[in-house]
Chain A
Amino acid sequence: AQRVTQPEKLLSVFKGAPVELKCNYSYSGSPELFWYVQYSRQRLQLLLRHISRESIKGFTADLNKGETSFHLKKPFAQEEDSAMYYCALSGGGYSTLTFGKGTMLLVSP
């Protein structure tokens, strides 16, 4: 069975501080991992995927197969980063997505 664990319900940091949102997964094959974000009063949207290895809005995430982790990082948090972040896993292709419970990131001035 595939499972995604986000251990923190809430992460509160000050503006300019580094941020790391944790995500661990359980999957028997080769998963595709994603981060989705939901800003206040907006829809859930894809932030980044591990395959593309890109940085979006200053966020990066590296897939660590040894530790089965896909933590989301940003060196300097901004107030506009405050949102709900969901880690998700797919078996690839047309496979469905399994989401974690989400972490609320609050960035204070």
Chain B
Amino acid sequence: NAGVMQNPRHLVRRRGQEARLRCSPMKGHSHVYWYRQLPEEGLKFMVYLQKENIIDESGMPKERFSAEFPKEGPSILRIQQVVRGDSAAYFCASTEGRAYEQYFGPGTRLTVT
């Protein structure tokens, strides 16, 4: 079991472009969480998904951000029309169910130029 995989590890986008971040959960895990870590900040919860369902998106910015976890394939965090303030490390974590038993991926570092 390779653990939670995230790709790409580093992503550079110009302002106005779209960013797609992928997260493959651990085998057997059907729950995925996305977090954002801004410089000098802790991890901030963004969204919690189960297969084909968004359970809690209370931490997602209202505009430009969306997430999905299809029946097949990885979970995708999509940021449209990126701005400099979106530059951050984005982590995903997966679990079989209980929130504290999250296994974290290595993160994707997004840089917006």
Contacts and interface: CB of A to CB of B under 8 A. Distances in A.
Do A and B come together as binding partners?
yes
Interface of A: 4, 6, 32, 34, 43-46, 49, 86, 88, 90, 93-102
Contacts of B44: 99
A45 B104 contact: yes
A86 B100 contact: no
B43 A99 contact: yes
B105 interface: yes
Nearest to A84: B42
Contact of B56 (A43, A49, A96): A96
B61 interface: no
B49 to A, nearest CB: 11
Contacts of A6: 42
Main secondary structure of the interface of A (DSSP, over half): strand
A101 B42 contact: yes
Given A43-B104, A43-B106, A97 B97 contact: no
B99 A94 contact: yes
A93 B99 contact: yes
Contacts of A93: 98-99
B47 to A, nearest CB: 9
Interface in B58-113: 59, 91, 93, 97-106
Interface string B28-70: 0001010100001111110010000001100100000000000
Nearest to B107: A43
A49 B33 CA distance: 19
Contact of A97 (B45, B55, B106): B45
Contacts of B42: 4, 6, 86, 99-102
Nearest to A38: B104
B58 to A, nearest CB: 8
Contacts of B56: 96
A4 B42 CA distance: 10
B8 interface: no
